[in-house]
Chain A
Amino acid sequence: MSEPNIEGSAGSAAPARQEPNHIRRAVILWVVLSIIGIIVVILITPFVLPPASSASDLSNADNLTMVALTILSVPVGMFVFVFLGYSLYAFKVKERPTEAGIPLQPSPTLQISWLGITSLLCLFLLIWGLFAFYQQTAAASTNTLVVRVTAQQWLWTFDYPQYGLSVQGQEIDLPVNRPVQFVVTSEDVLHGFSIHALAVRVDANPGEITTTSVITPVQTGNFTVNCVELCGLYHSYMWEAVNVVSESTFESWITSQGGHL
């Protein structure tokens, strides 16, 4: 903290009162609360993130980013909360103040280090984000299951071209531990194709075909495909069940729906 430009009465009043070292107190409080906050974040993460959210390799990676960002934002938020709370506690006056506060100004060193630290945080976010994102763009292998998704107002059509199967407006199965890639388009207006638990999310554009990253469901379970772009009247009814099942169950589902293996 720079030597403040103290003038007149403020300067003479300060030493007489034996002011405690406010900065040191607040910083200690900030560090302690940040550590507590980070521990709390790590403890409650399993409850806040949805239970099935590590259902695919992709959602594992995204959840890791989520936790990393949260841990990073705890000290940032705490800085504001602690310094605001401490100021209100220590410097509050009851009545309309008759004298001025100490006219502090930041020193060049403080300004530069503040900008430097926030820039470093920012750079870290960028590198982490790009790294995590481009890691996901793995190439499709021969084993990859391709599912063509066609959105229309207000239902989904799923085509399994490898199995000669097409289902509309009903729940679908996906095999566990097998890479899957969705090829998404729309018949009419903009829709949003999302399976939150598998971390799959992309817009369904009319007249355009969009391919998602290859993901591998690693856990069986019942999930939901939602529309996440407002698409008109029954937008909020445009959801379907997605079951991640064993390979054998998947194959029997394919045949029962009229597909071939």
Chain B
Amino acid sequence: MTTQATEVRRRTDLFHTLCPSVVSGIVLGAAAAVVFGFIAHLLAGEDNPDAPVAAAYTAWVIFFFIGIGAFNGIFKWGFGRREPTHEEEMALAGKDQGLWRYFRFTTDHKVVGMQYLATVLVMFFIGSMGAFMIRLEQSRPGAIFFNPQTYNTIVGMHGIIMIVTTIVMVSGPFGNFILPIMIGARDMAFPRLNALSYWLLFTVIPMFISTLLFAGFPTGWTGYAPLSVQELTPGMDAYCFTIIVFGLSVTVAAINIVTTVITMRTKGMTWGRLPVMVWGVLLSVILGLTAFPSFIIAQTLVLMDRIFQTSFFIAAYGGNNWLYEHLFWFMGHPEVYVIAIPALAVAAEVATVFTRKPVYGYKLLIGGLIGIAVLSVLVWGHHLYLSGSENALDGPFMLDTELISIPTGVFFLALIGTLWRGRIWVTVPMLFVCAVLVNFVIGGVTGIYLADLPTDELLHGGMFVTAHFHFTLVGAGVFAFFSGFYYWFPKMVGKRLNTGLGQLHFWLFEIGFVGTFLSLFYAGLQGEPRWSANIAPPFATANLIASLFAILIAASVFVAVYNVIITLARGEKAETNEWGARTLEWTIPTPVPLENFGEELPVVTSLPYNYEPEPVAAAESPSAPASGSAGTPLQPQSGD
């Protein structure tokens, strides 16, 4: 081969590498956004700044997917009327494409899981920096760093980034990477939908950040109408489109996960043998499927009010803001359980490994999680106790909200029972589980104050609410995510995170977190309103203390980032079964091969929580098939 020929081949290779990939997607999407935005500008005229922005966002999403090659399959196989061959499927799954497969429309569930994980970590970083800016502004009375417009945008962006990230933090990375292996599947049920769900999330990020080009948005993460309709700058449209496209992403992912768990379980993986984590993710995405449509609808109506001058929410023309509030909270309250349920399930999953004990009351715990999912659909009205709209329903909503404490209590019973008389191996993931218990009980009991009408009258709309939901979403949710992160990182990445840095991350985070938000509980009791750029002098001390503790959280973020970076650069190689766990993902090699299992899929005979036989001995036992059912030998299941 001559050098010239090599040159030519390299050039074509470069073209085929970049196209289709995220690069061609971004180029085509951005170009289309400019073109269609300009056309809409010509059509709609000067006085409708929202139309070009809306056209640009729509074009960006559609043409990004054309550019990344999401539609290629339709033309190749759909119109060609034949099924793709196994080789073609494997090429789509990123076979022999090296690291570049992470930047393409790759269908392998492990690639999608890693894409989600990287995105979640980056978004957590950005969101936590937003949080730190809020604490900076609130460290002293008066507007000191940001003007009110910037401050409101920071608060709203922090809120949306964190909500979006926490919704996907378990179901995205672990639900895609770990879940199919846990149930003994080779991939998700709909691999291409899987890639679609991730890349939809990806298109959301530049769209949302572009709000900064249009002066931001003033409504906070709740986006209450009619303020969102009144707002003149198109920054609000970025919010609406973010929610709509993110809602699509969640819906696609949810359909995929539900189908996968129902249809792709391996032989013997009955519903009564599913790992708790699988139950948690399944319930979470079912709940998301129920809740998210109303959020998409709410933002579509806001966009119509903004662009086409309809009046769903404008009182002067017969609209009503309560419509928005109901649509929003019909999503908004189930959504916190979309976040909490899989996080709690991860905590239970991790606890059983590091106590070397089965989950205490498996069926009771699953029943509890189902109970939370069912009850949470009908609690949204407690956000409207003081809206003046539906007093007759206050009692029922209060009842249902307080009923949730019963299945939540079951979770505590299960976790405490799992710890009790275990061999508690206090690793970094286990530390995070312990913190989940501490934080979630504080978050839980403070929720009672807000569920109870007389006390809500003192606390609604105040800092107490902020502190409460941070204790549940961060204290339980994010801490449980990090327990899963430290627990599954050796399997997903194949390297071992530094334990000392992990412990430092944990202690800085937990001490900083508890200090910050206990101070804000105090400020809330004193009557400090939420969303304040300009805090009043009586609340100054509590806010200053909160801001000082927030420095510890910020430090913990950088410790975690440093830990990930040095581990990726020169971390030790992790063992196949790093922690001695018994679920299926630890029975297969690291890095996990394409299609996960060898020739034979594993056969499951019990719950994966029997730690009695030695893991090593079991793996070498000649009776266990090499395909990896080794971790779960036949044992009578204890309990019931």
> Which B residues are CB-close (under 8 A) to A84?
416, 419, 434, 437-438
Q: Complex Cα distance A7/B357, Å?
A: 12
Smallest beta-carbon distance A214→chain B, Å:
14
Which residues of A (179-224) have their CB < 8 Å from a CB of B?
A: 184, 188-190, 192, 194, 196-197, 199-203, 205-208, 210, 224
B405 proximal to A (CB < 8 A): yes
Contact in complex: A226, B416 (CB < 8 Å): no
B633 proximal to A (CB < 8 A): no
> Which A residues are CB-close (under 8 A) to B611?
100-101, 103
User: Within the complex, which residue of A87, A106, A237 is in contact with B364, where a contact is CB–CB below 8 Å?
Assistant: A106
Contact A73 to B425, CB < 8 A, known contacts A87-B419, A103-B357, A105-B361: no
Interface centre among A4, A106, A125, A236, by most chain B C-beta atoms within 10 angstroms, is A236
User: Within the complex, which residue of B315, B409, B458, B531 is in contact with A118, where a contact is CB–CB below 8 Å?
Assistant: B409
Contact A228 to B536, CB < 8 A, known contacts A106-B413, A201-B461, A234-B148: no
> Which A residues are CB-close (under 8 A) to B434?
84, 88
Contact in complex: B227, A7 (CB < 8 Å): no
A232 proximal to B (CB < 8 A): yes
Q: Complex Cα distance A63/B289, Å?
A: 40
A interface footprint on B306-333 (CB within 8 Å = 1, 0 otherwise): 0000000001100011100000000000
Which residues of A (223-261) have their CB < 8 Å from a CB of B?
A: 224, 226-237, 239
Contact in complex: A66, B448 (CB < 8 Å): no
User: Within the complex, which residue of A83, A128, A190 is in contact with B452, where a contact is CB–CB below 8 Å?
Assistant: A128
Nearest CB to that of A59 among chain B residues?
A: B458
A97 proximal to B (CB < 8 A): yes
> Which B residues are CB-close (under 8 A) to A49?
525
Smallest beta-carbon distance B49→chain A, Å:
18
Q: Complex Cα distance A208/B226, Å?
A: 13
Smallest beta-carbon distance B315→chain A, Å:
3
Which residues of B (453-502) have their CB < 8 Å from a CB of A?
A: 453-455, 457-458, 460-462
State the interface size on chain B (CB cutoff 8 A): 88
Q: Complex Cα distance A102/B417, Å?
A: 11
Contact in complex: A101, B413 (CB < 8 Å): no
Nearest CB to that of A237 among chain B residues?
A: B534
User: Within the complex, which residue of A95, A100, A105, A227 is in contact with B356, where a contact is CB–CB below 8 Å?
Assistant: A100
Contact in complex: B454, A132 (CB < 8 Å): yes
State the interface size on chain A (CB cutoff 8 A): 91
Contact in complex: B422, A203 (CB < 8 Å): no
Binds A, one of B61-69, B160-168, B393-401: B393-401
Nearest CB to that of A74 among chain B residues?
A: B445
Smallest beta-carbon distance A108→chain B, Å:
8
Which residues of A (75-103) have their CB < 8 Å from a CB of B?
A: 76-77, 79-81, 83-84, 87-88, 91-93, 95-103
> Which B residues are CB-close (under 8 A) to A177?
none
Q: Complex Cα distance A194/B459, Å?
A: 10
> Which B residues are CB-close (under 8 A) to A8?
612
> Which A residues are CB-close (under 8 A) to B517?
none
Contact in complex: A76, B445 (CB < 8 Å): yes
A interface footprint on B556-595 (CB within 8 Å = 1, 0 otherwise): 0000000000000000000000001000000000000000
Which residues of B (377-397) have their CB < 8 Å from a CB of A?
A: 386-389, 394-395
A48 proximal to B (CB < 8 A): yes
B424 proximal to A (CB < 8 A): yes
> Which B residues are CB-close (under 8 A) to A62?
454-455, 457-458
> Which B residues are CB-close (under 8 A) to A232?
152, 218, 227, 230-231
Which residues of B (193-221) have their CB < 8 Å from a CB of A?
A: 218-220
B3 proximal to A (CB < 8 A): no
Nearest CB to that of B440 among chain A residues?
A: A80
Nearest CB to that of B446 among chain A residues?
A: A73
> Which A residues are CB-close (under 8 A) to B453?
129-130, 132-133
Smallest beta-carbon distance A56→chain B, Å:
11
Contact in complex: A202, B638 (CB < 8 Å): no
Contact A115 to B320, CB < 8 A, known contacts A65-B455, A83-B419, A230-B222: no
> Which B residues are CB-close (under 8 A) to A190?
224, 226-227, 321
Q: Complex Cα distance A240/B165, Å?
A: 38
User: Within the complex, which residue of A59, A115, A224 is in contact with B536, where a contact is CB–CB below 8 Å?
Assistant: A224
> Which B residues are CB-close (under 8 A) to A61?
454
A interface footprint on B247-271 (CB within 8 Å = 1, 0 otherwise): 0000000000000000000000000
Contact in complex: B454, A97 (CB < 8 Å): no
Contact in complex: B437, A80 (CB < 8 Å): yes
B529 proximal to A (CB < 8 A): yes
A27 proximal to B (CB < 8 A): no
> Which B residues are CB-close (under 8 A) to A188?
226, 230
Smallest beta-carbon distance A37→chain B, Å:
12
B603 proximal to A (CB < 8 A): no
A136 proximal to B (CB < 8 A): yes
B610 proximal to A (CB < 8 A): yes
A141 proximal to B (CB < 8 A): no
Interface centre among B149, B152, B614, by most chain A C-beta atoms within 10 angstroms, is B152
Nearest CB to that of A22 among chain B residues?
A: B421
Contact in complex: B457, A101 (CB < 8 Å): no
Q: Complex Cα distance A115/B524, Å?
A: 32
Q: Complex Cα distance A18/B534, Å?
A: 62
B533 proximal to A (CB < 8 A): yes
Contact in complex: A96, B580 (CB < 8 Å): yes
User: Within the complex, which residue of B424, B448, B525 is in contact with A73, where a contact is CB–CB below 8 Å?
Assistant: B448
Smallest beta-carbon distance A6→chain B, Å:
9
Contact in complex: B526, A115 (CB < 8 Å): no
B449 proximal to A (CB < 8 A): yes
Smallest beta-carbon distance B398→chain A, Å:
6
Smallest beta-carbon distance B447→chain A, Å:
10
Q: A49-B525, A115-B409, A205-B387 are in contact. List 19 more A-B contacts (CB 8 A).
A: A7-B612, A59-B458, A100-B423, A100-B610, A114-B413, A118-B406, A118-B409, A118-B410, A129-B402, A129-B451, A136-B454, A184-B388, A189-B226, A194-B527, A206-B316, A228-B530, A230-B531, A235-B152, A235-B532
Closest 9 CB pairs of A and B: A207-B315, A196-B527, A228-B461, A105-B639, A210-B388, A101-B422, A97-B423, A100-B611, A73-B445
10 contacts between A and B (CB under 8 A): A76-B441, A80-B412, A95-B425, A101-B422, A105-B639, A122-B405, A129-B452, A132-B453, A205-B322, A230-B530
What residues make up the interface of B, taking CB atoms closer than 8 Å to A?
148-149, 152, 218-220, 222, 224, 226-227, 230-231, 315-316, 320-322, 355-358, 360-361, 364, 386-389, 394-395, 398-399, 402-403, 405-406, 409-410, 412-413, 416-417, 419-426, 434, 437-438, 441-442, 445, 448-449, 451-455, 457-458, 460-462, 522, 525-527, 529-536, 580, 610-612, 614, 638-640
What residues make up the interface of A, taking CB atoms closer than 8 Å to B?
4-5, 7-10, 22, 48-50, 53, 58-59, 61-63, 65-66, 69, 73, 76-77, 79-81, 83-84, 87-88, 91-93, 95-106, 111, 114-115, 118-119, 121-122, 125-126, 128-130, 132-133, 136, 184, 188-190, 192, 194, 196-197, 199-203, 205-208, 210, 224, 226-237, 239
